[in-house]
């Protein structure tokens, strides 16, 4: 009986290892193969919303100023800490010359090896996309959805502190 139990445990461990190994390779291909989805920053207005009046015109002007990235005060601003089930995500935004110049992760889910692997792949994409967009409106990264959402929320909090 002990032989059969030991054999079953060995086979089970091997199968688990094979599944996890394939899962990691699938994640790497997702991260290096590109991401789908449209950035919120590039969303187009609905047809029929071309005319702006009064408050809408002022809001449009504010959004155009936001697109240039010149609406921030220089400094380093810590965003709120956001619970994303596997841990917390918190970022700080570095503003230089009125623009978002760097984003640093202060906290991220890092207690499980899979979380560490996923976040090491996702964090550089999130940082570079936020700097390029000059906002927290970045694409959600498949496989790191919760971290991406926490990143967006924490960065939005930091950028709100930096607004002129």
Q: What is the pLDDT of residues 86-126, one digit of tens each?
A: 999 999 999 999 999 999 999 999 999 999 999 999 999 99
**If pLDDT is split at 50, 70 and 90, which confidence band does 73 have?**
very high
pLDDT in tens, 20-53: 655 554 444 444 444 433 333 333 333 333 334 4
Hey, where are the domains in the chain? Answer: 1-29, 70-164
DSSP string, the chain: -HHHHHHHHHHHHHHHHHHHHHHHHHHHHHHHS---S--GGGPPPPTT-----THHHHHHHHHHHHHHT--B-SEEEE---EE-SSSEEEEEEEEETTEEEEEEEEE---SSHHHHHHHHHHHHHHHHHHHHHTSS--PPPTT-HHHHHHHHHHHHHHHHHHB-
70-164 sits in which CATH class?
alpha beta
pLDDT higher for 9 or 40?
9
């Amino acid at each position: 009986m002990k032989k059969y139990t030991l054999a079953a445990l060995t086979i089970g461990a091997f199968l688990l290892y094979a599944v996890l190994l394939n899962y990691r390779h699938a994640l790497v291909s997702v991260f290096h193969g590109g991401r789908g989805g449209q950035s919120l920053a590039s969303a187009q207005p609905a047809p029929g919303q071309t005319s702006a009046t009064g408050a809408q015109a002022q809001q449009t002007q504010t959004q155009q100023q936001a697109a240039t990235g010149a609406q921030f005060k220089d400094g380093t601003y810590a965003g709120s800490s956001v619970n994303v089930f596997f841990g917390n995500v918190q970022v700080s935004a570095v503003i230089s010359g009125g623009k978002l110049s760097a984003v640093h992760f202060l906290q991220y889910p890092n207690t499980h090896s899979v979380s560490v692997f996923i976040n090491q792949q996702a964090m550089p994409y999130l940082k570079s996309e936020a700097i390029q967009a000059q906002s927290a409106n970045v694409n959600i990264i498949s496989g790191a959805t919760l971290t991406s959402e926490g990143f967006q929320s924490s960065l939005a909090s930091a950028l709100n502190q930096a607004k002129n």
